Amino acid sequence: MVPAFFMMRNQTIELKTKLQAEKNYVQRRGAQKKFALIYPNAYGVGMSNLGLHVVYDLINRRREFACERFFLPDPKLLNQLTRSREPLLSLETQTPLLKFPIIGACLTFEPDYFNLLAILSLGRIKLRAEQRGERDPLIIAGGPCATFNPMPLSTIIDAFVIGEGEVIMPAVLDVLSQSLSRSEMLQALSTIEGVYVPTVEQSSVKRRWLIDLDAQPAHTVVVADNLELDMYLIEVARGCGRHCRFCMAGYCFRRPRVHSLDTISNQLDAAAPFGKKIGLMGAAVSDYPHIDELCRMIIDRGMTLSVASFRADSVTKTLVDSLVASGTRTLTIAPEAGSERMRAVINKGITVEHVFNTIELGLAAGIRHFRLYFMIGLPFETIEDVDEIVALSNRIKDFVGEGVRLTLSVNAFVPKPFTPFQWEPMADRKYIERAFKTIREGLKRRGVEVITDSSRAATVQSILARGGRELGEVLLSAHDRGGAKSFMRALKDHGLDGDEYLYRPRGTDEQLPWDVLDQGFDKKYLIGELDRARQLKSTAPCVDGCKRCGVCK
């Protein structure tokens, strides 16, 4: 076993090395309230998450708080810390997690639930909320996973932020700054619109969202290097009104909103001294109404850019040319489905012509590598639809020629809460494996690279996405046994049937675990979208003045 003294020293050296390479972090010693902010993944991943920067800034604007960050240690250090039982330390001041009276967690992806438990355990935090007393930290979670289904973690987390932090966190911080008992604090938090407290009875918790994005621009706060996205991030838009029926973000972050060019220009001025590539963030950056003007603005300033995503039906020559001028060598397109029928089911809204037009723009600009994103196992899909993925990919390969690389990234569809497909079963593993094999074998002689995800990982994600409070004990058991790889066994040991979560169609009149949350629209709207999917009917994108779903009423 590694001596604790050397472990503490190694961890401290690593943290100080990271901190010395950062710019604009806040190191506030002696503040009235210390707030630990956890991103339950590696440092490079967490620091590439714009939401983490937004929350870090929101908290540190309040002089009575000192927000410090925690990330999942790299595998070697994680193993050493686990064996030595040395406490996990904060990045800013190397303070043990247990010393923080308030802990916040950013929940972006379901697999990170296991990482969160690992971090809390390393920090010597009691994992069950009911076991924590007056001297223990209060744990709050926010982010996409908290917003659409907090239930699997509701025996672990004390309170959840439902919606966008900019409009909820100020009131939360007001409560946290008071001298209240634990029960009084939780009761006070439960009265804030947009906060769910599992131990307090609440008839409905309404999602809250920021109406005017320009009022609080979202951008990189702490500048660092060697990240997953090694860029200066600037949000150009939030939410999406395209109504893709599989996409949680399009429903839980509705309505679509954009930043003004003037606001983004100011952010570019702030970013310039750091010499970083500009990462434009949004659900579909090409939908930004001034995208060409913005691209020219960035290039004319001698800066470079990248985009989080774009759509094949709104991409422009200026955008593609600007990306290539910025060093982009791979163009990513997301048809999602190979057949016209399936694209109608999911309301993707793009055609084969859109895909080929985008490829043509890329070829003309000098792109020699294209990546295509597809899903398999979508509702109402057949193996013939999977064959269409192969057929479309072969057509594209013929079009681009032998000197151009083509990569397919194929993932199993996972049903998500608050989407029209929340009632639909996941495709069984045999079908998923058959679909993966069909695609690989159909393209292996063409030199097309096919990357598929793990069907086992997808099943765990699917169970967590639509599970209820009962999964809290399963997560804890899996954590005790080593994490995600033990989840399915832990599920069985708790008398729960994985097939029931995965493959049973839900009735549209069924009470769902997340029904206590109000996203701004009711089930009738989602049921109507599910019916339209069955009938291959399209739904037009959001427009100003629209009242279809109810969010904008």
Residue 286's pLDDT band, with cuts at 50, 70 and 90, is very high
DSSP H or E run through 451: strand 449-452
Contacts 24+ apart (CB under 8 A), 333-336: 333/358, 333/359, 333/370, 333/371, 333/372, 333/373, 334/309, 334/372, 334/373, 335/372, 335/373, 335/374, 335/392, 336/244, 336/246, 336/373, 336/374, 336/375
Instruction: Give dist(CA 492, CA 317) in Å, integer.
Output: 53
Confidence of residue 387 (pLDDT cuts 50, 70, 90): very high
pLDDT computed for residue 537 by the predictor? 97
Q: Which amino acid is at 341?
A: R
Name the least confident of 137-141, 265-269, 400-404: 400-404
- Specify if 94 maps to a domain: yes
Tokens of 301: 């300033």
How far is Cα 247 from Cα 416, in angstroms, rounded to an integer? 8
> Does residue 7 register a pLDDT over 80?
no
pLDDT given for residue 437 in this prediction: 97
pLDDT the model gives residue 4? 53
Is residue 408 over pLDDT 70? yes
Residue 3 pLDDT > 80: no
Burial class (CB in 10 A: 0-12, 13-18, 19+), 454: exposed
Q: What proportion of the chain, given as a percentage, has pLDDT over 90?
A: 91
Q: Which residue has the tokens 């832990």?
A: 490
Whether residue 353 is predicted with pLDDT greater than 80 in this model: the reply is yes
Helix (H) and strand (E) counts in the chain: 21, 17
Tally of domains within the chain: 1
Query: Is 126's pLDDT higher than 70?
Result: yes
Q: Which residue, chain included where needed, has tokens 């064959």?
A: 387
Nearest Cα residue to 152 out of 394, 465, 497, 535: 465
Asked whether residue 512 carries a pLDDT value surpassing 90, the answer given is yes
Could you report the per-residue pLDDT of 212-230, keeping only the tens digit for each? 999 999 999 999 998 999 9
Q: What is the pLDDT of residues 241-256, one digit of tens each?
A: 999 999 988 898 988 9
**Average per-residue pLDDT in the chain?**
95
pLDDT tens digits, 446-476:
999 999 988 899 999 999 999 999 999 999 9
What number is the average pLDDT over the span 31-57?
96
Q: Provide mean pLDDT across the span 59-65.
A: 95
- Could you give the CA distance from residue 129 to residue 199 in angstroms, rounded to a whole number? 9
| Residue 173 pLDDT level (bands cut at 50, 70, 90) | very high
Q: Are 277 and 326 in contact (CB under 8 A)?
A: yes
Q: How far apart are CA 501 and CA 463, in angstroms?
A: 6
Mean pLDDT, range 171-198, rounded to an integer? 97
The mean pLDDT value for 156-174 works out to 98
Residues recorded for the chain: 553
In this prediction, residue 522 has a pLDDT band, given cuts at 50, 70 and 90, of confident
**Which residue intervals of 408-522 are DSSP H helices?**
429-443, 455-465, 471-481, 487-493, 498-503
> What is the strand order of the sheet 195-196 is part of?
65-71, 33-39, 102-106, 138-142, 159-161, 195-196
- Where residue 29 falls among pLDDT bands split at 50, 70, 90? confident
Q: Which token pair is 145? A: 């996973």
- Torsion region of 453: left, alpha or beta (phi above 0 gives left; psi -120 to 50 gives alpha): beta
- The percent of the chain in helix, strand and coil, each rounded to the nearest 5, is 45, 15, 40
Distance CA 59, CA 292 (A): 35
Q: Is residue 495 part of a domain?
A: no
Q: What is the DSSP letter of 30?
A: T
In a domain, 64, yes or no: yes
Q: What pLDDT score was predicted for residue 236? A: 98
Q: What is the pLDDT of residue 526?
A: 96
Whole-number pLDDT of residue 446 = 92
Sorted by sequence, the CB contacts under 8 Å of residue 49 that are 6+ apart come out as 39, 106, 108
Residue 304 domain flag: no
CA separation for the pair 496, 489 (Å, rounded): 10
CATH number of the CATH domain containing 68: 3.40.50.280
With respect to residue 271, please indicate whether it lies within any of the assigned structural domains: no
Section 297-307 average pLDDT = 98
> Mean pLDDT, to the nearest integer, of 93-109?
97
73-77, 90-94, 412-416: the lowest-pLDDT one = 73-77
CB atoms within 10 A of CB 333: 22
Give the residue numbers spanning the domain of 76.
4-206
In-domain check, residue 12: yes
pLDDT in tens, 539-551: 999 988 888 898 9
Query: What is the pLDDT averaged over residues 62-78?
Result: 95
Going 390 to 427 to 373 to 346, the CA torsion angle's sign is positive
Is it the case that residue 56 has pLDDT exceeding 80?
A: yes
- Tell if the pTM clears 0.85, that is, is over it: yes
pLDDT, position 548: 87
Mean pLDDT confidence for 62-76 = 95
Separation of alpha carbons 233 and 229, rounded Å: 9
Q: Tell me if 101 is assigned to some domain.
A: yes
Rounded CA separation 543/479 (Å): 45
> What value does the CA radius of gyration of the chain take, rounded to a whole number of Å?
24
434 in a structural domain: no
Task: Specify the pairing of strand 159-161 against strand 138-142.
Answer: parallel
Q: Name residue, tokens 């090694």.
A: 230
